[in-house]
Amino acid sequence: MPHTELMVGNKAVAYGAKLARVQVISAYPITPQTTIVQYLAEFIANGEMKAKFIEVESELSAMVAVQGASFAGARVFTATSGPGLFFMHHPMMEGADLPVVMSVVHRSNKSMQPDHTDLMAQRDNGWIQLYCEDNQEALDTALMSYKIAEDPRLSTPTVFGIDGYILSYTAEPVEIPDQSAVDEWLPPLKAPWAPDIHLPVQEWKKRQGRMYGNQKAWIDHDAKFRSSLGVIKEVHDDFKKTFGRGYGNGLIDEHNCDGAEAVIIAMGTIASTARVVIDDLRAEGKKVGLVKLKCYRPFPIDDIKALAKKYHAIGVIDRNVSLGGGGNVLNETRSAIYDMAERPKVLGFHTGMAGDEVTTGMIKRIAEKTLRAVTEPVSTAVEWVGGA
């Protein structure tokens, strides 16, 4: 039977990998990710989990190890943070057709504290990117990530992120699903891409579509990657039907938006703070709602366009920055709606960078400015909120 435990976010992630019956794990310790693999090592040592744990000398080696195991047909897992993720960049680009699943515990470029610049820096390497708001969502997203990555229409690596310290070392109640229910929902991996020892290498590569060297490889990859949005929705709906928990439609989650004239978009733990603010503002009669962005890559363009048709102003909160270019989510949002004949005002806000605290007061200021944009001229220049 399902049961509830009080656990930190890193343990919730580890439990997700355990429930998924991962076969090969490799990771290099880095704060604030380290305890994820410590929990997994304990599960293996205690006999709670049957898996091969590969010790390596770096994050790059960890990625190569799990990619090799995935190439051979195993269900795999790795995890990292901040600089460790940057070290993985090259092999992540090379292994963009293997269903590797990874958890990133966000860590800033400029401090040990969290923002989303680490994972955002990997936005163009062909990995699906999902962002989690709380520890329950971390466990659930771990399970969904395997179902998404291993879908035979995709075979696409998937990464899900949790905010370092805010979730990784903070305990929350988490419902752990029954193992038998997970086994039924997530059956053993079938790996048709695994090498056939009876075929010459070049013939095997040709059959698997792994012959590169021209633009068609990019065209095919882009088309497959875009199609993953539909698969993510399907997997999410199936998860919700089976386990009773859901996160919007798997891509975005609208909260208290009925009758709203404006919305703010937030990701990760900022969405938790924003829920409280939006509920208070709606109680005051202010017509502003919240949209949590769960899937950043591929960017859910159609869902954003649908928002643009319903609301007159959108305020985008970025816990990241593309230096000299603004927030990544802001830029994606503006691009998605650019060709619409009528489009809402879109405002951009940076906050929470390098682990700076994001308060309800700051979110209220963002939400009220966005709402004012519906009827008043306001500056749509990107604004930094909080910080020294």
DSSP string, 53-100: EE--SSHHHHHHHHHHHHHTT--EEEEE-HHHHHHTHHHHHHTTTS--
pTM of the model: 0.95
Least confident residue range of 109-113, 289-293, 350-354: 109-113
Instruction: Identify the pLDDT of residue 199.
Output: 63
Nearest to 12 by CA among 129, 143, 192, 130: 143
Q: What is the mean pLDDT of residues 241-267?
A: 98
DSSP string for residues in 165-210: TTTTT-EEEEEEPPHHHHHHHSPPP--TTS--TTS-HHHHHHHTT-
CATH assignment of 252-384, among 3.20.20.70, 3.40.50.920, 3.20.19.10, 3.30.1700.10: 3.40.50.920
Parts of the chain belonging to CATH 3.40.50.920 = 252-384
Give the domain 3-243 fold. Rossmann fold (3.40.50)
Amino acid 195 reads P
pLDDT in tens, 113-149: 999 999 999 999 999 999 999 999 999 999 999 999 9
Look at residue 233 and tell me whether its pLDDT is greater than 90.
Answer: yes
Q: Which two tokens stand for residue 94?
A: 């090379």
Instruction: Identify the pLDDT of residue 209.
Output: 55
